[in-house]
Amino acid sequence: MNSYAFLNGNEAAAWGVRLCRPQVVAAYPITPQTKAVEKIAQFVQDGDLLCEYLHVESEHSAMSCSIGASSVGARTFTATSSQGLLYMAECLPYASGARLPIVMMNANRAIATPWNIYGDQMDMPYVLNSGWIQLFAENAQEALDLIIQSFRLGEDEKILAPVMVNLDGFVLTHTYEKVHIPSQEEVDAFLPAPKPRKHMMNDESPMSMCISAGNQHNLEFKIRQHRDLLPAEELFEGIDKEYEKAFGRGYGGALEGYRTEDAEHLLLATGSVCGTLRHMVDLLREERHSVGLVKMRMLRPFPVKRLGALCSGAKTLGVLDKNLSFGYEGTVFTNVNSALHQEGIPLRSYNFIGGLGGRDITRQDVRSMVRVLEESDKTTEKIHYLNVRCAL
Amino acid sequence: MTKLNARTLSKEEHFYGHKACGGCGESLALRLALKVLGKEAYLSLPAGCMAAVSFIYPNMAFRNNAMITPFAATASVATGIEAGLKALGKKNPLSVGFAGDGGTADIGIQALSGALDRNRKFIYICTDNEAYMNTGIQRSGLTPFGAATTTTPAGRAIRGNLGRKKNLFEIVAAHGIPYAATASIGYPEDFLAKVQKAKETEGPSYIQVYCPCPTGWGYPPEITVDLAKEAVDTGLWFLGEFEEGIFWLNRKPRAFASLREHLARQGRFRHLQEEDLAALERERDHIWESKFNLWPLAK
């Protein structure tokens, strides 16, 4: 089939998973990820997806089962969110250190306490250092496409890294859109069955995995893991181009610049809020504001040079973080500033913290962001909070 | 099936060149079990002595496929491996988890319960040396009453561990799995037969094997096997099975060997006073009269 359907982000991701023919899926429910693992379970129970579906008792075991399955070469998928991501966090570097190309959907959600099930991206920074490739989807269609791209990327023998596909909780996971579902044949052609990897457990030449390496060797292991992750940025762009050729949809690889060429002021964000920002850039352009959007699809590896090139002509940059690193600033902001510094881009940057706990980011908020950027001569405050309801 | 003993057991070694202490009971349990399981077994081992002594880059001590798992994740990784192999088309994959008492009864019990509940074929072997030995002899849920550990030292006010050894065998059996057993490296033929049985079992199986530790228990390394045998003969440990929903006993001592002499050989019990020893004897007698003596003797 090659058709259109009315799907929410979770279901679109589940369709992406189905088309990738995973051999093992380990799943534990957590709001707002549940619809994704329910949909996959339905595919399995209906016989539409042939795979070992493991009903695990926790996220820790969801990741551990995935590690076991992937360590023998099975294509493996799991999904989580928020507290569940934190609960499995210990296992994530086992997957990346052992070079296991597991793909995981993470429904970005607030972190307790105060307890909250709605969407923000407070969960993601906790695992930014885990050695996983970090990708973000803007809409349900991109979620489906990104799952397919992720298996290609992670399983590439030059990379061999696990991939986390981030979907904003509710705004993306629970919002319905018209989604194009590619045919199985097309996806099979784009994503062949997984090949046996050099480093995996197997009958012919047994392996020890997740070994220990003391102070004589440990540093070299870590450096190699780091260096091997870096080319994933360029490879991702290539995969995205190939995907566009095959399916008619491309996203620009690690990041997309929208009306950035002649923009004096840039807004930068990850995930679903890019839809709002894109709309506002169009609106503000009509009102003769010189604005553009940088949509970051990839935070690890971090696309330093591409970001520098996109920002080189701008005067100011506003980074919208749906997270806050207590005692400092938004984590995307920290990462972006480091990249700009490395690339010698002298623009003024500001941090906008918004959307926490599912708080709306309104058109008015975007206007206020642009105002800060346009009046940057008068602005000394680096961090601005969006849509704050009372004086703090 | 040929009875497994010193004569019939495979001469092949699957676990060697590791850095375990002299007289290590756990490494002996692994060595013996692997002779039965064979090279086709895929092994999962969490943090603990056995992982720490056998995966030190670049020297790998297992001939089998083997993997260090997150501490809490022995059973989940093992079932993941089984599922992966099965999904890839391997017939009857054999996935085996080896974890210590802390890795099983404490931090790994949730993953173990979940894995047993999934009812897939895998073997879980708990090598029980009654404390966290790898981190330096701290108390675990399987440390017996009275034992001195570094977190339950023989203090002036409190003499060693006040807790009781968790009844993990029956906790596991309560999952209704097809096969569970207790064993001791002091009765190797019994242990080997149980590993063989687990290997042939459809679905999950569990063996808890008693493995003395010279470093943690404070005794000379040459008496490890002796102590493991004595523990059964004194009635402090037992050889049992859970099969077809029934508990069986493999050995009923006619008269118990001296508990006091057995404990006196171990530094960890040296501080115990008369009242402690009397309490231990009373508890031992009670558990045999109220439970083990009611279990039928296995054929």
Instruction: Name the residue among B52, B64, B80 with its Cβ closest to that of A69.
Output: B80
B114 interfaces chain A, CB cutoff of 8 Å: yes
Any domain includes B102: yes
Q: Is B164 within 8 Å of chain A by CB?
A: no
Q: Which residue has the tokens 């009242």?
A: B275
The dihedral of CA B262, B264, B266, B271: what is its sign?
A: positive
Q: Is the CB of B17 inside 8 Å of chain A's CB atoms? A: no
Q: For residue B166, is pLDDT > 70?
A: yes
CATH topology of domain A3-246: Rossmann fold (3.40.50)
Integer Cα distance of A272 and A365 in angstroms: 15
Closest CB from B81, B111, B115 relative to A60? B111
* Rounded CA Rg of chain A: 21
Please tell me the distance from the alpha carbon of residue B129 to that of residue B78, in angstroms, as a whole number.
Answer: 22
CA atoms of B143 and A49, how far apart (whole Å)? 46
Taking alpha carbons only, the member of A226, A199, A195, A198 closest to residue A210 is A199
Interface test mutation site (partner A, options B14, B49, B71, B85, max chain A beta carbons within 10 A):
B85
Q: Is the minimum CB–CB distance between B66 and chain A shorter than 8 Å?
A: yes
Domains A3-246 and A255-385 share a fold: yes
How many residue pairs from chains A and B have C-beta atoms closer than 8 A? 154
Number of domains in chain B: 1
Tokens of residue B269, six digits: 């019990």
B9 touches chain A (CB under 8 A): no
For residue B203, pLDDT over 90 is answered with yes
SS3 B248: strand
DSSP per position, A221-285: HHHHHHHHHTTHHHHHHHHHHHHHHHHS----TTEEEES-TT-SEEEEEETTHHHHHHHHHHHHH
Domain segments of chain A as ranges: 3-246, 255-385
Residues 91-110 of B with CB under 8 A from A: 95, 110
* Pick from B165, B202, B180: nearest CA to B250: B180
CATH of the domain at B163: 3.40.50.970
CB contact under 8 A, B113 and A217: no
Pairing of strands A348-353, A383-385: parallel
Q: Of A339, A320, A345, which is closest to residue A330 (Cα–Cα)?
A: A320
In sequence order, the 6+-apart residues with CB closer than 8 A to the CB of A140 are A7, A8, A9, A11, A12, A172, A175, A176, A177, A179
Minimum distance, in Å, between the CA of residue B182 and any CA atom of chain A: 26
Does residue B256 fall inside a structural domain?
yes
Q: Residue A120 pLDDT > 90, yes or no?
A: yes
The residue-averaged pLDDT of B239-243 equals: 98
Gap from B81 CA to chain A (nearest CA, Å): 4
Is residue B198 within 8 A of residue B242, CB to CB? The reply is no
Helix or strand run (H / E) with residue A180: strand A176-181
pLDDT at A391: 85
Token reading at B4: 């497994």
Subunit contact A206:B82, Cβ cutoff 8 A = no
Q: Which residues of A touch B63 (CB under 8 A)?
A: 206
Q: Examine residue B14 and state whether it is found in any structural domain, yes or no.
A: no
Range of the domain at B93: 25-294
Query: What is the pLDDT, as a whole number, of residue A1?
Result: 54
Averaged pLDDT score across all residues of chain B: 97
Contact of B1 with chain A, judged by CB distance below 8 Å, is answered with no
The ipTM of this complex is 0.97
pLDDT the model gives residue B1: 66
Q: What does the DSSP 8-state code read for residue B143? A: P
Q: How far is C-alpha A357 from the chain's CA centre?
A: 19
* Rounded percentage of chain B residues whose pLDDT exceeds 70: 100
Residue B108 included in any domain: yes
Q: Is the pLDDT of residue A174 over 60?
A: yes
**A56 contacts B60? CB cut-off 8 A:** no
Which residues are bridge partners to B184 per DSSP? B210
Contact B56 A70 (CB under 8 A): no
- Min Cα separation A4/chain B (Å): 30
- Taking alpha carbons only, the member of B203, B262, B255 closest to residue B231 is B262
CATH topology of domain A255-385: Rossmann fold (3.40.50)
**Chain B nearest C-alpha distance from A111 (Å):** 23
Determine the Cα–Cα distance for residues A122 and A325; give it in Å rounded to an integer.
8
State the pairing for strand pair A176-181/A24-27: unpaired
CB A333 within 8 A of CB A319: yes
Q: What is the mean pLDDT of residues A91-116?
A: 98
Contact list, B49 vs chain A (CB under 8 Å) = none
Closest Cα in chain A, distance from residue B15 (Å): 12
pLDDT in tens, A216-229: 999 999 999 999 99
B19 touches chain A (CB under 8 A): no
Read off the pLDDT of each residue in B203-230 and give the average, rounded to a whole number.
98
Q: What value, to the nearest 5°, has the Cα angle with vertex A96 and ends A91 and A97?
A: 95
pLDDT-derived band at A380 (thresholds 50, 70, 90) equals confident
